[in-house]
Amino acid sequence: LTWVVVYLVVGITGALVQPELGQEPWYPAAAVGVGLLVIRGIRWWPAVLLCDVAVSLLQYREVVGGLVSGTCTALEIVLVADLLRRLRFRPTFERPEDMVRLWLAGLIGALFAASAGSGLLRWLDATDRDYWRTWLVWFVGDSTGVLLVGPIVLLLAQPHWLQQLRALRGP
């Protein structure tokens, strides 16, 4: 339940401070969603879907755009978490390749969501922006959210995160 509350707080905060309606060029809530599914399991996908749709409805302030954005972003988060599972990702980042795995999965997920979501928004006439502008904002927002905030979220979710931070600092 803590994950869901954090997800909603981060997502709603982003929706309230964004410069314009629709997507934002920085979406750290995606990292919280990925963290939830990596730590708690894919079975939590309904919580990710509900949170993302709620946040997206607040962002878009209209139903079609909010449903498309929320659903595509939730699918992205499930895709990223599943890719990480298949790549045998460890959220403790004990191995350097785990950071590469997170970045690779995050970029693939953002590429999927930006492409599918932007296409659907244009096809449904739910945005007044052109496809490429929508795609770029979506891709940058979701990928930077996962790539920059994801490691922090995943490390803080570890039981002994303070000890791990000290170990990274060295003797």
pLDDT tens-digit map of 16-44: 776 555 556 778 889 999 999 999 999 99
Specify the pLDDT at position 72. Answer: 95
**What single letter denotes the amino acid at residue 99?**
M
Q: Which pLDDT value is given to residue 13?
A: 81
**The predicted structure's pLDDT at residue 161:** 63
Percentage with pLDDT > 90 across the chain: 53
CA separation for the pair 161, 167 (Å, rounded): 10
C-alpha dihedral (55, 59, 60, 66), degrees to nearest 10: -10
Q: What residue has token string 């599918």?
A: 116
pLDDT-based confidence at 62, cuts 50/70/90? confident
Look at residue 36 in the predicted model and tell me its pLDDT: 94
Mean pLDDT of 60-78: 91
Phi, psi (rounded to 5 degrees) for 94: -70, -25
Assign 91 a pLDDT band (cuts: 50, 70, 90): very high
User: In the predicted model, is pLDDT for residue 125 greater than 90?
Assistant: no
**In this structure, which amino acid lies at residue 22?**
G
The confidence score (pLDDT) of residue 43 equals 96
